[in-house]
Amino acid sequence: MPIASVTKIMTALVILRTHPLTVGMSGPTIGVSATAYSVYQSELAAGDSVVRVEAGETLSEFQLLEGLLLPSGDNLAVILADWQSGSEPAFVQLMNQLASALHLTQTHFTDSSGLDTGSVSSARDLVLLATVAMKNPVFAAVVAMPSVTLPVAGTVRNYNPILGQYGVIGIKTGWTSAAMGCLVFAANVTVAGQSVQLIGAVLGQPGGPQSGLVAAGRVATALLAAGAGELQPLRLPARDTLVGRVTSGWAGQINLQVTRSISLVGAAGAELGLRLQLRRRRTPWIRGAEVGSLTVTTPGGFRWQEPVVVTRKLAAPSWWWRLTRPF
């Protein structure tokens, strides 16, 4: 489906991958050319979502990202694309290359802002994209801001209708007459005392530029409640549970166990992945020696790792055993 300004998640991600920032950095400054000012005037006249700029003004990379992601400046997407790649088509090529690298099989971009109906994706792909984007600390910091102040535009606000509610910490809205109301969201929820980040995507909600986003916010809120309700604490194996055995030719079997209960959060009925890894270690081993680890993962990507220890002493093999054992 068309995704409108949700496209700007990828625009920002391409910029941050090619021009990385750390939290607190402003990055290089970019001048607003006469051409960029003409784009602003043209898009303003067309009723598009724009951020006010003036020819000759300079904005930092970080400020451009703020204006891109909060009030969804279509004209700022063009400025960033030209700065990065020299032209919109060249930048869009980078966007599609990254989409392919991230295995977003239902996603294709035709512009940097999402005004073009050819920029399409699916809710599934957008959740994957948002998961990657939210791992970037600068991106996550920007989309969590309720408002920012820019040099010429002044104070601009975040269009996310549920930001700051229900644990929501971002990330991006979108609306066009073709895409309707769109919202990709991230929220921190607490399940059994553990903080879990839920990421979701809502597309095609009916309504105008404002009412469509409100409708998308209502659906996102329902999704958050349903998603949190599907989660439950998963505790296994329990402390001192047998998780494996090591067999030695001279001393028989030695049991392996974890020293703490493994506790994580996952969906009810989810299949868990268990992986026991042992590392090379010379004998003798004392009781309780750490010889490896047990990793438990859920389909949602939650991961817990605990050390694995031996339950009794393992002496080194005797010289007689070494001399007489078969080769």
Question: Count of CB atoms within 10 A of residue 145's CB?
Answer: 16
Is residue 5 among the annotated active site residues? yes
Residues 61 and 19 sit within 8 Å (Cβ to Cβ): yes
Residues 58 and 30 sit within 8 Å (Cβ to Cβ): yes
The one catalytic residue among 38, 42, 72, 261: 72
One-letter amino acid at 320 equals W
One-letter amino acid at 266 equals G
- Region class of 294: left (phi > 0), else alpha (psi between -120 and 50), else beta: beta
Distance CA 250, CA 145 (A): 64
3 state SS of 46: coil
Is residue 248 among the annotated active site residues? no
Distance CA 202, CA 272 (A): 28
Look-up: residue for tokens 């392996």? Answer: 256
Residues 248 and 314 sit within 8 Å (Cβ to Cβ): yes
Burial of 140 (0-12, 13-18, 19+ CB in 10 A): middle
Is residue 8 among the annotated active site residues? yes
The one catalytic residue among 5, 49, 85, 113: 5
DSSP percent split of the chain into helix, strand, coil, nearest 5: 35, 30, 40
One-letter amino acid at 322 equals R
Which amino acids are annotated catalytic?
5, 8, 72
